Chains A and B, each alone.
Chain A
Amino acid sequence: MNLKTPSKLEKMLAAGHLAVTSECGPPRGSDPASITKKAEMIRNHVDAINITDNQTSVTRLCSLAACIHLKHMGVEPVLQMVTRDRNRIALQSDILGAASFDIHNILCLSGDHQSFGDCPQGQNVHDLDSIQLIQSVRHMRDEGKFLSGDDIARPPSMFVGAAANPFADPFHIRALRLAKKVSAGVEFIQTQCIYNLDRFEKWMEMVRDLGLTEKVFILAGVTPFKSAGMAKYMKNRVPGMDVPDEVVSRMAGTPKEKQSEEGINICVESIQRLKELPGVAGFHIMAIEWEEKVPEIVERAGLYPRPQIS
């Protein structure tokens, strides 16, 4: 195994196991208990936990601090980092800060537009974009240098990830955009939530045709619906989300008290189908404010117990 970092997630993927990651959103306050509580619920069922970075542009406790809390618990964090709020000085600085706590995974994102959040009057930075952030982390890690070219004493050692959304438009360039991320140096991908499995399979076919599954680990993203209302909201209100009508009707056709169970069923069925898909290297389970369901999903999908990696 030719490993580039001490990341447990990298080891898991390199060993050929289907990896399982999940994510936790930090609180809108400074009490770390909500993070540690969420992490405690799922730590035995996942290989690493992403901490979101002010997701949907709503101000929250910072991703880096939350990752440090995970680290102190002995849980493997994936530091999500958006280019919306930081220029290249702050990005590099936060990467070093994370590296100083031996945080070994980073997810490079551009971030939702600030107009969705609690500070729509704020500026967005986007000094770099997500692809350039991938390049920058790889440069810092592999060359041991800052973007300026100066040497870094003890460079970061991070397994570099990014997102991919096969459901955004235009569809036919979505595999090419992944190719762009791969050429920038991305090593793992967590996809947008998959509800339209046919479209995802078509995208994966295009990705395989470009030879990308040989170069990057793709973790399929899934999110269980809690209710029919959530399914409708995701379909109609969340940009870049593709929820087919039949999925919405399946949720809507289920009695209200059984809807959350049906949401879990759909999620588990999706994982089971995608497990067979060539090129899928694992799953990223985003149970939004529903972390307690992650263990059940992982177990029912046949992904438990997690392989032990030293």
Chain B
Amino acid sequence: MIVGKQKPLDDIWNRVKGFEKLLVFGCNTCVAVCHEGGNKEAEILTSLLRMRATQEKVPIDIRSSGIERQCEHEFFDAVEKEIEWADAVLSIACGVGVQFLVKRYPSLQVSPGLDTTFMGDVEKPGLFMESCQACGKCILDLTAGICVMTRCAKRLLNGPCGGSTKGKCEISKEIDCAWQLVIDRLEALGKLDDFVKVVPLKDWSTGRDGGPRKLFHEDLES
């Protein structure tokens, strides 16, 4: 899923303090799981911004709302009136949601309240780990099921580099060396011979480098 992190309150406040009617708008799917951008977080953020407005004597009316997903039209019906009321929306969805709002309401002022950080998993409660770059051409079978494009700081397809130390990456003792993980798993599977095979040059054109991507199913068009 998509993971994000709320921007610092000062930063958010500076983005929105000039508006008169602000709607803080949560997105209750991906970024709610990481407790950063869901509808509950929208309510908390609304309270914090109201306090700030009172402290600084800024006349701004702030309301809170949210939907299940800001990236699909079907969820917006219930909140049309609230959006109509606002002269600006502070969206705490990921960048996809922020842009979908802009696409849907071309004249609406929209500010991002969240930094979209990565696609990842919930390794344990409270811990979210990046695991996929959406490169558009999965080769996880070549690297023991560990995405080295994501987890190696140099995205080496034929690692580990000379900086791998005691299972950790050269850039931080807090970060696992992706290639150590690959080798450990190859060994556990009895497939270390696969390590010697050179992974060929990657075609990056299916990723960001090839321009914006789209997927279209004609049969689903209504």
| Pair B154/A115 contact, Cβ less than 8 Å | no
Residue of A nearest to B172 (CB): A115
Say whether A180 contacts B158, CB under 8 Å: yes
How many interface residues does A have (CB within 8 Å)?
36
Partner-contacting stretch, out of A28-36, A127-135, A275-283: A127-135
Q: Chain B's interface: helix, strand, loop or mixed, by majority?
A: loop
A127 touches B204 (CB 8 A): yes
Task: Please judge, given known A-B contacts A169-B180, A240-B163, whether A115 and B157 are in contact too, CB under 8 Å.
Answer: no
Q: Find chain B residues with CB under 8 A from A173 CB.
A: 160, 183, 192, 195
Partner of B200, one of A112, A113, A132: A132
Contact B154 A129 (CB under 8 A): yes
Q: Find residues 109-149 in chain A having any chain B CB closer than 8 Å to their own CB.
A: 110-113, 115-116, 124, 126-132, 135-136, 147
Whether, in the assembled complex, A252 has its beta carbon less than 8 Å from a beta carbon of chain B, the answer is no
Residues of B within 8 A of A130 (CB): 156, 158, 161
CB atoms of A128 and B154 under 8 A apart: no
| Interchain CB contact under 8 A, B154 and A124 | yes
Range for the number of chain B residues in contact with chain A: 20 to 34
Are B165 and A180 in contact, CB atoms less than 8 angstroms apart? no
Tell whether A113 pairs with B154 under 8 Å between CB atoms, given A132-B201, A180-B196, A184-B198: yes
A126 contacts B196, CB within 8 Å?
Answer: no
Return the CB mask of B164-201 against A: 1 if under 8 Å, else 0. 11110011000001001001000000001001101111
Residues of chain A in range 171-187 having any CB-CB distance to chain B below 8 Å: 173, 176-177, 179-180, 183-184
Contact between A176 and B156 (Cβ–Cβ < 8 Å)? Answer: no
Across the two chains, which residue of chain A brings its CB closest to B158? A131
Is there contact, CB below 8 Å, between B155 and A126? yes
Not counting A124-B153, A131-B198, A179-B196, a sample of 18 additional A-B residue pairs whose C-beta atoms are within 8 angstroms of each other reads A110-B156, A111-B154, A113-B171, A115-B153, A115-B171, A124-B154, A129-B157, A132-B198, A163-B162, A168-B160, A168-B162, A180-B198, A184-B198, A239-B162, A239-B164, A239-B170, A240-B163, A240-B165
A and B contact pairs by CB, cutoff 8 A, 20 listed: A110-B156, A112-B163, A113-B170, A126-B154, A127-B202, A127-B204, A129-B157, A129-B159, A130-B156, A131-B158, A132-B157, A132-B158, A132-B198, A170-B160, A170-B180, A173-B160, A173-B183, A239-B164, A240-B162, A240-B163
Show the binding face of B for A, using Cβ within 8 Å.
153-167, 170-171, 177, 180, 183, 192, 195-196, 198-202, 204
